[in-house]
Every structure is written in C-alpha cells, then in structure tokens.
Structure 1
Amino acid sequence: MRKVAVIVCVTSLCVTLFLGALDIVICITLYDTIGQEFNDYANVGWLMAGYNLPNALFMLLWGRIASLVGLKCSLMASIVIFEAGSLMAGAANSMGMLIGARVISGFGGSGIESLVYGVGTSIVEEKHRARVITVLGIAYMLAEGAGPFVGGGLAEHVSWRWCFYVNLPIGGVALAALGWGYNPAGRAPGRALARFWVRARAFPYGTLLQAQFWRRAAALMVFRLDIPGLALSSGGFALVMLALTFGGNQYAWRSATIVCMFVFGAALLALFMLYDFVVLPRVGARIAGYEPLPLVPWRLAANVPVLTSSLCGFFNCFAFELQSIYLVQYYQLVVNKGPTLASVHLWQMSLPALVSVIASAVVNERFGVVKPLVLAGVVMGFVGSGLLTLVRSDTTLGQSIGFSVLAGASFGCVYQLSLISAQLQVERDDPDFHARFIEVTSYNTFIKTLGFSFAGIVSTTVFTVSLKNLASSHSASVPSFSTVEDLIRYRSENFDGRNSLLGRLLAKSVRNVFYCALVCSALSFLFGLFTSKKRTDITKGAESTELAELCELAEPAEEKPVSKTPTSTLC
C-alpha cells in the first residue's frame, strides 16, 4: 500500500508540473508573433522574464505558506493563481497587460515548481531521489514535446491567445489529480472537504476585528515570511532586468536612466543581503522573542558546496534557455519557418535532455556518484555551446541537430544532479533535517530559476542590439527601418532567402546570443569543478521520510496556533 501511495502521489505531482512546463514552452514559440502583434519586439523577452522572475523570487516563500495552510492546499492555490494569470494573458490588449498577466502566472507557477520538487524528493529513499526527479523531468520533457505543436498550431491556425486559454482545461485536470490523487493524510476528498468546512465554520472570525490579531499578522509577515526581504530582492532584480531590457534599445548604455537602474538595483540587492544576513536575525530575535526566518539565511548562503552546485545549475539553465529561445528564432527569422515548424526544432535539445536525465538517474542510483555526472554534464555543455556558435545562415538541418545534441544532454544531466548535490549537504542526523532539506531544495531551485529569468531578457537584448548595429553598418545595402520590429516584419513579408544579406545579419545576431551561452557554459563548468564529492547512499535503509510525516506536510497542525508558535520548517 505504501508503494501505491507514493506512485499516486508522484503521478499527481507530474500532472501539476506538466501544466507549468507546457506554458513555458508554448511562450517560446510566440516571440515573433506577439512582437509583431503589439509592435514591441524589444520587450518580448518579458514574456519569459515576467514569468520567471516572480517564479524564482516567490519560490522561497511558498514553502513558508505551505507550513501555515497545508501543502496540498498551497499546491491547489498555486494552480488557481496560475490559471487566473493565463486567463488574463489570453485577454490582454497590450504588451503591458500581457506582461502583468505573466507576472501573476509566475507567482502561481512558483508554488507549483517549488512544492512539487520538494515533496517528490522527500517521500523516497535518498538513493531513489534521482528516479523521482527523472519522472518529474519526463513530465517536463513531455510538455516540451507537446508545447511546440500546441503553441505553434494555435498561433498559426487559431490565435496566439488560445496558447494561454489552453492552460485552463489542463489546470482543471491538474486540480482534479491533486484533489483525488494526492491524499497523504489518507482521507477521501469528500471527507477532506467536510473537515475543511467544519474548521471554517469554527474559526473565530470576531478576532479579525481585534488589534491583537493584526499585530500577530504583522509579526508573521515580517519575522516568518520575510516580506521586507522579498520586497527588497524583488525591487533589486526588477531594476537590473529593466536596465538590461532598455539598455541599447530605448536608452544608451551610459545614459543616466540605465546607470541609475543598475546602481539602485544593486543597492536594493545589497540591502536585501544585509537585512537577511544581519538585521533580521539580530533585531528580529529581540523583538519577536524567537528566531526569525530570513528568506536566505546566512548559514545557507555561506554553505560553499550548496552555493557552487546552485551556481553551476544557474549558468547551465541560463545557457540552455538562451539556446532554446534562439534556436526557434533562427528557424523563424532566418529560415522563415512558421511558429509550428520552427518550434519543432526544440526537440533537437529536449530529446537529448530527456535521454541524459534517464541515463544519469540510472547511473546515480546504481553507483551513487554525483560529481562525475555533474562534470560530464558541464563538459558536454561547454562543447555543445561551442558547436552552436558555428551556426550560419546556410547551416543544414543535420548540422543544426548535431550542434544541439550535447547542449541539450548537458541540461538534462546538470539540472537534476546539481539539486541532488545540494541536498546531500544536509546531514541526516540534523535534528531539523526535514526543514533543512526543503530549505536547500527551494534555494537551489530558486537560483536555477533566476538563470531562466535573466536569460529571457539577456537573449532579447543581445539579439536586438546586435541586429541594430549590424543593420546600421550595412545601411547602404539594407532598407532603413526605425525599429527592429519593422525590420523583422519586412523580412517575413519580403523573404529573399536565408543566404541574403539580411538573412546573414539575422544569423549573425543569433550567433551572438549563442556566444553569450558559451560564456555561461564556461562559468557552469568552472563552478562544476568545485561541487561536492559526496555520494548518495545506495545501501538499503530506512526511508528518509515516513508517509505519516508527509501527512503532516499536507495538513497544518491544529494544536499549535500559527500566530504563537513559530515553525522552523519551510514546507
């Protein structure tokens, strides 16, 4: 029965993760379409960044929320929020509204990703973690496989808006899968709803009008959820990403606007670290009377093995996102394929990634090795990124596939092994093992998601600035355009072959993005060299977490009032 319960639980998590992954892949196919729709290609990178930035920032917060209201309730709430963002995105009538909707979706998607991986890797033995991550990875890759056909087909034959509306029925399936498939407390869905209704009726709503309630709520927001730290980090990252978006496009890199964005963004991030590392732990303990919970505690940030494995994953994800987005753009802009056919080329990277996910999981579970697999992944990433810089306007399909294989395989290997390497730094005899385990998992996933976030912005900036500079240097041979959007629209309406001057300029701009990915792969290799040598325990032993403990994750404790008894767990 225990094995059946784990299988049902993991299956429900896969359906949930499939929802978020499908949305990400579909959006990659829409860059050109939406850029032309709103005549704003320079900001189209925010389709991904607007989702990925809140997705990363709120990842550290969702576990805290789950400890207050229950894990299952938190997962279902994150899906509802994600669905609301998808509905708004489909109805958007401007780029600003669309980006705002993506931010809402990112908040919901953050809960999906952080809680799914945290629960999935905590309900099995240490030696089986790679297997669970592999199963979740397969769900992600299936979404990557379906995404190009779904996104491209809807964009070409129906409307790009349905690329977001399609999330609504899939989200309904995900909610049903969680409601009926994930019941770690052993209660039938009907009994769980009845219990929720009884508790809702018994809640003393009169306390909402009392000052004491709001004082406790404020203490909760500051000392346990670290909302001030979240505000500082969000503002800092947003300013830096805005500077990367506008720099070289709407403003010169040396302009006062861009310089101020970088300076104030860096200042806010510095204040965030000062607040979480020094101010909150020292001042908060005196005011609250108990140890506060920073989003990023110093003991975690100062853990070198956790940091190196997370940064290795960060730069690998950064490179993979750059390559995925502009491999599709290469086939749309240079070869002049439609969204559907261009997006199919994502398989050039996702299929090798799927193979490497499975292969590395088998090797890890059989031999317990982690660092050798990480090193193999970063070497493949560096070599594969170098091969992709060989792409030219006349590159054949066979050459393109050959260039992409190693880069895709690298991602599949490094993404899961960097997480396992970080998790192994939590000692099993630690009295707060479960809290530390979820904390490290959320931190590692947060860092890697930041890589995806910055890649969406940096890739668009590198491409548009490169294309502007190249077009201006060939102004005598290339028609004059006021914006990159006009040039891309002209190209699609007056296609003159992939080896024309404009085709070569577009190919060179894409190649510059791949050079950026090469630098990221080199940094991933560098940090990979310093990852931990710890191995997973492949001996048969007691499972890391009993199913009863998972029950505690799913339901908040009734006997311990949240406002009075602080918890040290993140999930």
Structure 2
Amino acid sequence: MEHTDVEQSGVIESKSLTDSVDVVPSSTLLTGVRLALVFSAFLISFGLIALDQTIIATALPKIASHFNAVSQLSWIASAYFLPQAAFMPFFGRVLSIAPAKPVFLLSIGVFEVGSLLCATAPSVSVLIFGRAVAGFGASGVWVSIMSVIARVTTMTQRPVLMGLLGALFAVTSIIGPLMGGAFADHVSWRWCFYINLPLGPISMLAVTIFLPAQPSLMHEGSHFRRWLNLDWFGTFLSLAMVTTLLLALQWGGNTKPWSDPGVIVCLVLFALLLVVFLLWEYKRGSTAILPLRMLLRTNVLGAFIEASFIQLSFVVSVYYLPLLYQVRGHSATKSGIDILPFMLSGMIASLVAGGIASAKGVVWPFLLFFPLIASAGFGLLFTSSLESGTKRLIGFQILVGVGLGAPVQNTLLVAQAEYVNDEAFIPLATSLITFMQCIGGSIGLAIAGSISTSQLRTQLAHYAPELSQQEVIAVLSSVEAIFSLPPDRIASVQRAYTAAIDRVMIAGVPFTVLASIAAILISRKKLPQKST
C-alpha cells in the first residue's frame, strides 16, 4: 500500500482529509438490526466507563471523610484516569495484532473486577487500587469500541455514531454527579460502583452473540511472536512517565511546596523518562506503542493536541462547578442539578456537531471556533462571586458546555479519517486521541487541585483572617465544615472558597485557547462522504 511505502522511507507526508476514501471491506460492515444491537451494547459499556469519570465528583467529600483520608481525595479521582492514559497506546497496539472482540470482552471483565473492589473496599488504599484496576479495563474498552466502529461502519456513518457516543458521554456526565450525590446523601457512596456490576455482563453477552469475529489486522509471524514483539518497555516507560508527572502535580503547592525534594525528584524523573521514552519509541519505529512518525501528519498532531486540552478543560469544569454550588450550601444531589446547564448544552452541541459532520463532512469550524466560546465562558466564570445570581451562572455554564461539546468527538473523527486507507493504523490513531484525552483529564485534575488548595489558603487569609488554626484546617479538609462555623464567619469563608474556585476556572481560558490554536494544524477539507 502507498502508506507502507511512505512509512518505509522514513517520511510520512501530511495528507488532506479528502485524500482518503472509505475502503472498509463490505464483508466486515454491519448494518441494520445487527449494527443497532452491537452499538447498543457498546453504548452500555461506554456509558459505564464514562460514568465512572464523574459519578464520584459530588460524592468525593463523603468518600474521603468515610476513610478519614481527605488528603488523598484527588488520588481517588485520578487513580482512574492514570492507567487509562498510560495504557491507551498499549491497547492501540494490541488491537493491531489481536482480534478486537476478545480484547473488548476481557477489558470489560477487568473493569467489572475493579468496580467490585471499589464497592467493597475496606480502606482507602483498596479503593484507590480498585479505581486503578477499573481504569486499566476502561482503557481497553474505550479503544476496542472505537476500533470496532472504525472497522464495521463507513465514514459517512461514523460521525453520527461518534456524535451519539459524545452525547452519551455528556449524558453520563450529567447523571453521574446527580447519581453520585443521591447515593452519597440517601443510600451509600458504595453504590457509585455497585451500579456497574449488573450492566457490564449485559454488554458482554450482546457483543458475544451479535458481533462477528474481527480478525487481527496483522498476520505476520506466529501469535506468540506478535505478543513478544509488543512494546512492553515502552508501555512501562509510559506508565512511569505519567505517574511521576502526576505525583509532582498532585503534591506541588498542595500537600508539599514546589521546592520539596520529593516534588523536584518527580519532575526530574519525568523529564528523564520522557527523553528515554521518545528515544525508545523512535528506535522501535513502526512497532512502537506510540509511533512518532504518525505525529508528522499535521491532522493527527492537531487532533492529538486539541483532544488533550478539551478534555482537560472538561474535567476541571465537571469537578469544580459542583463545588462552587456546594460552597453555597447546596447538597451533593442539588449541586448535580445545578450543573445541568453545562452538561445539557455540551450534549446538544456534541449531537449537532456530529450531525453536521455526517451530513456535510465539515469538522474544522467546530475545532477552531467553539473552544474560543468555552474560553469566554471560563473567563466569565472567573468574575463570579458569592452574590452572583443563578441566571448569570447558568449563562456562563452554557457557554462552556457548548464550546467543549462541539469539538470533543470531532478530534477522533479527524484522526481516524487519516487512516481509512490503512486499517492497521486506525486503532493506533484512536488510541493516540484517547490517550491524550485521559492525559488531559489526569493533568487537569492535578493542576486544578494544586491551584484550588494553594489559592484557598491565600483567600482564607484574605477574607477570613479571624479563623483559628483549627478552623482553617477544618475548612481546608471539608466543605461541610464551613456550616459548622459561627454564623458571622460563614460568609467570609464562602467568599474565600468562591475566589479559589474562580482561580481554577480562569485556568480554562489558556487551555481552550491552546485547543483552538491546535486546530490551525488540521486540514479544512471535508471528511470523505462516499465509500468505494
């Protein structure tokens, strides 16, 4: 194939989106009822792994309080994102040498085991470990679904299906905080994880019955040799690199000062591991888990960068908007209702963008202009105060939701469109985008946590200097502690919290602007509209 020739020469030329045509073999296509059943099963499993990203957002304070582990609160959240990010490229490579169907089934099984560990965790350490196991399984589920869809549908069908996945992601983001808050307030936070257990097997059964066997994309050598040749060292480097970076971001300015030796060591190790990782991946060439030559295609590079900043901004919003309302005295359940404007506007924008991409093949405007709308929304959220009215906050949320919702799935479509002539690279392109989305989510949580903690201390000293040291420690550890203070001190602490959250929101401005700038790298050509 032409791509192989170019790859062997060591140079990959950037191709426009219309240079590729949809060449999915008719024998692998799914249509009608079978496609609907398989995609419905995928929606269930995708919904579960997406739900796990947000369901604990409003329940985290109670979870941390249950284990007396407020200092580890951010790890309960990010432990799910970290293995997702680290193993996305690994699963992308696995799906080029192994059939997608068993990879999906095994991954959803691992996710269920992780959910069970979380639901029954006797300690915070077990809970964090369970979150990591679930994140590993979620990584395989995510990439498997995207890979199968790319193999069993045409390019004209894909924008609609991706739009539905994007809409589902938005829906789970809506109901996740609502469900988590309701469970925490009225039943038990453990139901945030028990809910996954009956639904996973339903998805597994439907895929087992209705999805035809998908042959592996590479056939050279024995199965054992293919597995042996996987980039195991690159996978280890990827995990170590992400872990050291997140440790530094979680600790720096939060539980430890940036000058702390532990933080400095983690940053130095991250830099060294990054250099070693890049050198190793370059040496591995086309067999690397992250083939660097793929990034020489400007469409892939642009989508790669934009996906990370969009997801980073989204995670910051979904975890800190509820906090903004809980500071005002709203319950965990009520704060989930309060952020419905953000979630609903994001879902609608994702659906509309997917529909237009399907009908017209146009994706570039959504990638360039809509992140700037989100940037304006973040800037306006920065101006909010304790006295800001509900209507004003709703308007700001809608701007952010629309701005982040429209491009979220289109970055994936751009990357997949680059390789419709070469199926073997579709799982890798998919894993690149999802890898960066998870990296963005992990880094977003770490950065937001660092800003929030350091700013809260600063703002408490400014707005509530009369607090005793014991009271400061209490309100730093729990939002609920605010309302146990003497009445004359509550409002000043609420203002300090609001000001700290405002500083988190302003960070969304440069992130979304950078997402928009990344779109300049992406071709303005339309997606291919006809299969051949």
TM over 0.5: yes
Question: Are 1:454 and 2:443 matched, yes or no?
Answer: yes
What's the CA shift for 1:136? 1.7
Aligned 8 A contact 2:368 2:517 in 1: no
Offset from partner CA, 1:91-135 (integer Å, 9 cap, x none): 223332221111101001111111112222332221221101012
Letter of the 1:146 partner, please give it: I
The whole-number CA distance in structure 2 between the counterparts of 1:346 and 1:473 is 28
Aligned 8 A contact 1:394 1:499 in 2: no
What's the CA shift for 1:26? 0.7
Offset from partner CA, 1:433-469 (integer Å, 9 cap, x none): 1012222122112112211111122212211111122
Question: Are 1:534 and 2:525 matched, yes or no?
Answer: yes
Letter of the 1:506 partner, please give it: Y
Letter of the 1:257 partner, please give it: G
Selected match of 2:189 from 150, 153, 160: 160
Root-mean-square deviation (Å) = 2.3
The whole-number CA distance in structure 2 between the counterparts of 1:177 and 1:476 is 60
Question: Are 1:233 and 2:238 matched, yes or no?
Answer: yes
The aligned residue for residue 410 of structure 1 is 403
Question: Are 1:373 and 2:366 matched, yes or no?
Answer: yes
Selected match of 2:495 from 501, 504, 509: 504
Aligned 8 A contact 2:93 2:289 in 1: no
1:46-445 counterparts in 2 under 5 A?
46-180=75-209, 182-185=210-213, 220=226, 223-224=229-230, 226-278=231-283, 280-281=284-285, 293-332=287-326, 334-426=327-419, 428=420, 430=421, 433-445=422-434
Aligned 8 A contact 1:5 1:184 in 2: no
The whole-number CA distance in structure 2 between the counterparts of 1:236 and 1:502 is 38
Letter of the 1:175 partner, please give it: M
The whole-number CA distance in structure 1 between the counterparts of 2:409 and 2:86 is 20
- Structure 1, unpaired ranges of 5+: 187-214, 282-291, 543-571
Query: Against the structure 1 CA distance between its residues 411 and 100, is the aligned structure 2 distance closer, same or farther, given a 3 Å change threshold?
Result: same
The whole-number CA distance in structure 2 between the counterparts of 1:38 and 1:438 is 40
The whole-number CA distance in structure 1 between the counterparts of 2:282 and 2:121 is 40
What's the CA shift for 1:222? 5.3
What's the CA shift for 1:172? 2.5
Aligned 8 A contact 1:42 1:245 in 2: no
Query: Against the structure 1 CA distance between its residues 495 and 400, is the aligned structure 2 distance closer, same or farther, given a 3 Å change threshold?
Result: farther
Query: Against the structure 1 CA distance between its residues 77 and 507, is the aligned structure 2 distance closer, same or farther, given a 3 Å change threshold?
Result: same
The whole-number CA distance in structure 2 between the counterparts of 1:439 and 1:93 is 38
The aligned residue for residue 63 of structure 2 is 34
Letter of the 2:465 partner, please give it: A
Letter of the 1:469 partner, please give it: T
Aligned 8 A contact 1:39 1:485 in 2: no
State the SS of the aligned residue for 2:229.
helix
Offset from partner CA, 1:339-390 (integer Å, 9 cap, x none): 1111223322111111111111222222221212212322222222212212
The whole-number CA distance in structure 2 between the counterparts of 1:19 and 1:495 is 42
Aligned 8 A contact 1:154 1:163 in 2: yes
Aligned 8 A contact 1:335 1:498 in 2: no
| More displaced stretch, 313-322 vs 144-153 | 144-153
Query: Against the structure 1 CA distance between its residues 170 and 497, is the aligned structure 2 distance closer, same or farther, given a 3 Å change threshold?
Result: farther
The aligned residue for residue 212 of structure 1 is none
What's the CA shift for 1:82? 0.7
The aligned residue for residue 6 of structure 1 is 35
* TM, length-normalised to structure 1: 0.82
State the SS of the aligned residue for 2:257.
coil
* TM, length-normalised to structure 2: 0.87
Aligned 8 A contact 2:92 2:289 in 1: no
The whole-number CA distance in structure 2 between the counterparts of 1:397 and 1:380 is 20
How many residues are paired up? Answer: 494
The whole-number CA distance in structure 2 between the counterparts of 1:271 and 1:173 is 42
- Structure 2, unpaired ranges of 5+: 1-29, 215-221
Aligned 8 A contact 2:345 2:401 in 1: yes
